[in-house]
Amino acid sequence: MSKLPPLGAHCSVAGGMPTAIARATSLGCTAAQVFVKNASQWRGRELTAEEVAAFRAAHAESAVGPLVAHASYLINLCSADPVLLARSREALADELSRCARLGVGGLVVHPGAHLGAGEEAGVERVAASLDAVLAALPGAPVRVLLENTAGQGSCLGHRLEHLEAIRARVAAPARVGVCLDTCHAFAAGYALHEKAGYEEMWAEFAARIGFAALGGMHLNDSLRPFGSRRDRHAHIGEGEIGLGAFARLLHDPRLAGVPMIIETETGEDLAGHRRDLETLRGLSRPASSRRGGSSSRRSRSPRTSAAGSSRSRPG
């Protein structure tokens, strides 16, 4: 039995930042994702020195390993509106500073939506935004992690080419990594539910991005079918991706040190997260001949239909 990568969940910070560590601990997490401010507002409540110290102490005492944060949904690093663009850059800088104070190593952000300006122009603007923000925070120990997207609307990031192009244009690519979301990749047309498709996706990832830049993964099953370009998370093994892909991910030696975070339906008293993490921990290394997809799907629960229906969780 090989050792699993750091594995955890997106944990709520309701009641103060340190409560996220308590939630992660109760779930047996060895990694966690948090919000460092209210994700649906531009302005965040100021973090006090006491809250930061309590968070760091709780983390240090816990078995929770690497931490990542998910940035606000309002941020659009390629907005054509100069006011929104300036606000987005300011918000990203603020969140990076919060992460640095809290000891959070990576900040996951969606590349943004070009809203008709075109992919090329969008990529240029995202890179310029990252350069502006990172240049103003020279010593920040936090990596920006660009998340791949499902390809809804004009959102960039549904092709690995987009993430590659952004990283190729920034002044400090070592400060810009990637977070790969399984549901988004599947929805965008990467066939990770099949063994051959899984290997193809990672071969392309290695060529375009490189594993050193992989700062985190989001493990979510998908309610919507392959290539649907729709972002609806399902419980692990209850969606269209199936358990085979998750078994491959957890036992892939190339991903051994990568924090893996579920963003599925939390459920009452964290029961949904508990169940998904148990499912993942119980997956053994797949036989080389084993195929993913419907043959390895967990039986559906009635709660599956509610997954992904609200914005209480990160995307």
* Strand locations in the chain (E): 7-10, 31-34, 67-70, 106-109, 143-147, 176-181, 214-219, 221-222, 233-234, 260-262
Helix 243-250 to helix 271-281 angle (10° resolution) is: 70
Q: How far is the CB of 120 from Zn ion (least distance, A)?
A: 25
Q: Which two tokens stand for residue 42?
A: 């531009």
296 close to 290: Cβ distance less than 8 angstroms: yes
Distance, in Å, from the CA atom of 44 to the CA atom of 264, rounded to the nearest integer, reads: 25
Which residues contact residue 307 at a Cβ distance below 8 angstroms, ignoring those fewer than 6 apart?
A: 223, 232, 233, 234, 235, 264, 265
Q: How far is the CB of 108 from Zn ion (least distance, A)?
A: 7
Closest CA to 282 of 239, 236, 220, 216: 236
Which residues contact residue 47 at a Cβ distance below 8 angstroms, ignoring those fewer than 6 apart?
A: 17, 36, 98, 101, 102
Of 181 and 238, nearer to Zn ion (C-beta) is 181
Q: How far is the CB of 181 from Zn ion (least distance, A)?
A: 4
Query: Can you give the binding site for Zn ion, defined by CB under 5 A?
Result: 181, 218
Q: How far is the CB of 206 from Zn ion (least distance, A)?
A: 21
Of 218 and 251, nearer to Zn ion (C-beta) is 218
Of 181 and 221, nearer to Zn ion (C-beta) is 181
How far is the CA of 308 from the CAs of 148, 163, 311, in angstroms?
17, 24, 7
Of 59 and 218, nearer to Zn ion (C-beta) is 218
Q: How far is the CB of 262 from Zn ion (least distance, A)?
A: 10
Q: How far is the CB of 280 from Zn ion (least distance, A)?
A: 16
Of 108 and 165, nearer to Zn ion (C-beta) is 108
Distance, in Å, from the CA atom of 98 to the CA atom of 206, rounded to the nearest integer, reads: 31
Task: Tell me which residue has its CB nearest to Zn ion.
Answer: 218
End-to-end alpha carbon distance in the chain: 31
Of 18 and 151, nearer to Zn ion (C-beta) is 151
Q: How far is the CB of 67 from Zn ion (least distance, A)?
A: 15
Q: Give the other-Cβ count within 10 Å of 211's Cβ.
A: 13
Of 29 and 85, nearer to Zn ion (C-beta) is 29
